[in-house]
């Protein structure tokens, strides 16, 4: 669209932004929102309310009148707690003074990391299926997203073969999205040990999105930053949304080498200033006294996970056993429909909303994402509808 003498607002919109397609999830759920009696297994956030002791600290901070900005990088007390938390969970030491920034959700941390590292034309490797933000944020930062298609056969893991095949001279970064949304795939210590040498040899950096790190069901999450010489090569991103059921608080953080962190901090301070103050006070409480809450919620997710996977398998929908996050990613290939068609029909015929796998990359074709961030009763209800659909179409 060219600008001419008649005022056309769209012609003023940045071309790159214009060219980014709308999110597959959004598009689909705008349809669902207009329908009645729809059961959804679509959302990507915990169904738990933030534990009361955490909410209460936020209220207290407001009562005390703590309504000012914090330091750009976040409250020192919070950064200190984050450092302690990282030391305890992934066994990596970060200096709260210059290696940690508190952000508005892990999303902002991701955006800041990409913008701090990418130069125009840099290639960014993105294993798919994965969270919908990596690609557009890479493009907006001037980079070229290079999807790596992982498969169910390999547990949706990033294998050394896949990684090696995707690296070129222009590769600058690898986004490591594990535990994975939407597949529930994880990278074990053994899996990571196979890709670490390739990363070092290619001399690239890693953005490790570990937002689901607390939600692993077959052992503790392992971060790539724990490997020898990988700490400085990795920006670790995490946050409070999934672990502590704090999505609406918009609070995340990034840990990185001081030089990289300083660059991210520039972007953060000019673009955002600082994360919300009351959210930060709540987060201190979450890290100090909220570990038991994580365990409680995880136990509940695990019950639903097993319930859902069993039910899907009994229904004849082959389901990769998810080891992390709160999603299952069953194959729908036997229905002979595309993911979009399947979801559309399921919505129209049974009023059940799940997310087409293609929303998470082309390699999501033939799959759908089902969230188990719902009560077991809701899941059971939804499964009845899915079963009816399956009877009609198989």
Partner 1 sequence: MELTRKILSLLEKNATYTPKDLSELLGEEEACVAEEIARLKESGVILGTKTLINWDKIAPELTVAIIELKVTPQKGEGFDKIAKEIYSFPEVRSVTLMSGGYDLAVTVVGNSMKDVAMFVGEKLSTLDTVVSTATHFVLKNYKVDGVFYTEEPEDERVITL
> Which residue in the set 23, 56, 203, 289 belongs to the binding site for partner 1 (CB under 8 A)?
23
Q: Which long-range contacts (CB under 8 A, 24 or more apart) does 162-167 make?
A: 162/127, 163/125, 163/195, 163/198, 163/199, 164/198, 166/125, 167/125, 167/198, 167/202, 167/204
Minimum distance, C-beta of residue 17 to partner 1, in the bound complex (Å): 16
Give the pair of three-digit tokens for residue 6.
Answer: 């008649």
Minimum distance, C-beta of residue 163 to partner 1, in the bound complex (Å): 26
Q: Does 201 help bind partner 1 (rule: CB under 8 A)?
A: no
Q: Does 27 help bind partner 1 (rule: CB under 8 A)?
A: no
Q: Does 43 help bind partner 1 (rule: CB under 8 A)?
A: yes
Minimum distance, C-beta of residue 67 to partner 1, in the bound complex (Å): 26
Task: Pick the closer one to partner 1 by CB: 232 or 310.
Answer: 310
Q: Does 45 help bind partner 1 (rule: CB under 8 A)?
A: yes
Task: Pick the closer one to partner 1 by CB: 48 or 278.
Answer: 48
Please report, for residues 53, 65, 373, the alpha-carbon distance to residue 282 in angstroms, rounded to integers and kept in the order given: 9, 14, 22
> Which residue in the set 71, 133, 140, 144 belongs to the binding site for partner 1 (CB under 8 A)?
133
Minimum distance, C-beta of residue 306 to partner 1, in the bound complex (Å): 5
**Which segment (8-16, 18-26, 263-271, 336-344) binds partner 1 by CB under 8 A?**
18-26
Q: Are 254 and 101 in contact (CB under 8 A)?
A: yes
User: What x/- string results for residues 80 through 119 when contact with partner 1 is judged by CB under 8 A?
Assistant: ----------------------------------------
Minimum distance, C-beta of residue 281 to partner 1, in the bound complex (Å): 24
Helix extents (H) in the chain: 9-12, 15-19, 24-33, 52-63, 76-89, 105-117, 134-140, 160-166, 189-202, 258-271, 277-289, 291-314, 339-350, 376-393
Residues 146-185 that bind partner 1 (CB under 8 A): none
Contacts of 356 (CB under 8 A, 6+ apart): 24, 28, 338, 339, 340, 342, 343, 364, 368, 369
Task: Pick the closer one to partner 1 by CB: 75 or 132.
Answer: 132
- Of the candidates 92, 48, 98, which has an alpha carbon nearest to the alpha carbon of residue 227? 92
Residues 288-347 that bind partner 1 (CB under 8 A): 302-303, 306, 310
Residues 344-363 that bind partner 1 (CB under 8 A): 353
DSSP codes of every residue in 183-227 = T-----HHHHHHHHHHHHHHT-EEEEE-TTTT-BSSS----GGGS
Minimum distance, C-beta of residue 82 to partner 1, in the bound complex (Å): 25
**DSSP one-letter code for 324:** B
How many chain residues touch partner 1 (CB under 8 A)?
Answer: 19
Contacts with partner 1 by CB under 8 A lie at 23, 25-26, 29, 32-33, 40, 42-45, 47, 132-133, 302-303, 306, 310, 353
């Amino acid at each position: 669209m060219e600008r001419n003498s008649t005022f056309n607002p769209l012609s003023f919109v940045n071309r790159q932004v214009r060219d980014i397609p709308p999110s597959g999830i959004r598009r689909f759920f705008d349809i669902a929102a207009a329908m009645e009696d729809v059961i959804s297994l679509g959302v990507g956030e915990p169904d738990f309310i933030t534990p009361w002791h955490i909410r209460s600290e936020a209220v207290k901070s407001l009562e005390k009148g703590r309504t000012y900005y914090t330091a750009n990088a976040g409250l020192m007390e919070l950064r200190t707690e984050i450092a302690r938390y990282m030391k305890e969970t992934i066994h990596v030491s970060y200096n709260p003074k210059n290696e940690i920034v508190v952000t508005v959700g892990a999303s902002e941390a991701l955006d800041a990391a990409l913008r701090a590292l990418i130069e125009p034309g840099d290639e960014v490797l993105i294993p798919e299926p994965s969270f919908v933000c990596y690609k557009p944020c890479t493009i907006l930062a001037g980079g070229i997203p290079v999807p790596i298609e992982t498969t169910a056969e390999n547990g949706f893991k990033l294998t050394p073969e896949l990684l090696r095949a995707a690296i070129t001279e222009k590769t600058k970064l690898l986004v490591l999205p594990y535990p994975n949304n939407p597949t529930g795939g994880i990278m074990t210590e053994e899996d990571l040990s196979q890709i670490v040498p390739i990363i070092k040899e290619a001399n690239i950096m890693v953005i490790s999105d570990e937002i689901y790190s607390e939600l692993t069901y077959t052992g503790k999450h392992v971060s790539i930053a724990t490997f020898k010489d990988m700490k400085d090569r990795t920006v670790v991103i995490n946050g409070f949304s999934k672990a502590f059921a704090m999505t609406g608080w918009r609070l995340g953080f990034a840990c990185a080498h001081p030089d990289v962190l300083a660059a991210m901090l520039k972007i953060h301070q000019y673009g955002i200033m600082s994360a919300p103050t009351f959210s930060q006070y709540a987060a201190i409480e979450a890290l100090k006294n909220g570990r038991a809450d994580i365990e409680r919620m995880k136990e509940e997710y695990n019950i639903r996970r097993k319930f859902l996977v069993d039910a899907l398998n009994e229904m004849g929908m082959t389901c990769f056993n998810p080891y992390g996050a709160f999603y299952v990613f069953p194959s729908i290939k036997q229905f002979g429909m595309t993911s979009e068609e399947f979801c559309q029909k399921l919505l129209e015929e049974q009023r059940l909303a799940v997310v087409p796998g293609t929303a998470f990359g082309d390699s999501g074709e033939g799959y759908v994402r089902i969230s188990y961030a719902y009560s077991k009763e809701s899941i059971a209800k939804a499964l009845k509808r899915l079963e009816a659909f399956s009877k009609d179409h198989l």
